[in-house]
Amino acid sequence: QVQLVESGGGLVQAGGSLRLSCAASGRTFSSYAMGWFRQTPGKECEFVAFITRGGGYTFYGDSVKGRFTISRDNAKNTVLLQMNSLKPEDTAVYYCAATGRNSGNYAYTATYDYWGQGTQVTVSS
């Protein structure tokens, strides 16, 4: 089992940048593929980014592609989400999630077994 804690959220102006961190506890962090999702009140949870166990492959939601970058440091049990060129539409609570499954769609929440508490990102216009 792994516990996840997000940090780094805050208030920024449109066009600015933020870096979110997800700190994981446990000895088996490298056995989990990791994802980032976001949720706005009244809307469905939206897929943001995914990274494989070793960090060799990444995938992004269409709305953030080219602006966000997911990375991981297995030695530090950390996953990062670098967010650049932020837009007001990026305002949401961002969640870090982990999956130990060997199959499943990385863009679906049901694929993930563990979730962090979320961190608020607000982008002003």
pLDDT digit string, tens, across residues 76-109: 999 999 999 999 999 999 999 999 998 899 999 9
| Closest listed residue to residue 72, CA positions, set 40, 35, 109, 45 | 35
pLDDT at 27: 83
Specify the residue for token string 């999630």: 97
Alpha carbons 53 and 34: distance in angstroms, whole number: 7
**Angle (CA) 21 67 91, round 5°:** 65
Q: Under DSSP, is residue 87 helix (H, G, I), strand (E, B) or coil? A: coil
The answer to whether the CB of 70 falls within 8 A of the CB of 92 is no
Distance CA 58, CA 105 (A): 13
**Closest by Cα among 115, 112, 114, 119 to 93:** 119
Instruction: Yes or no: say if 21 and 118 are a contact pair by the CB < 8 Å rule.
Output: no
For the stretch 28-73, pLDDT in tens is 999 999 999 999 998 999 999 999 999 999 999 999 999 999 999 9
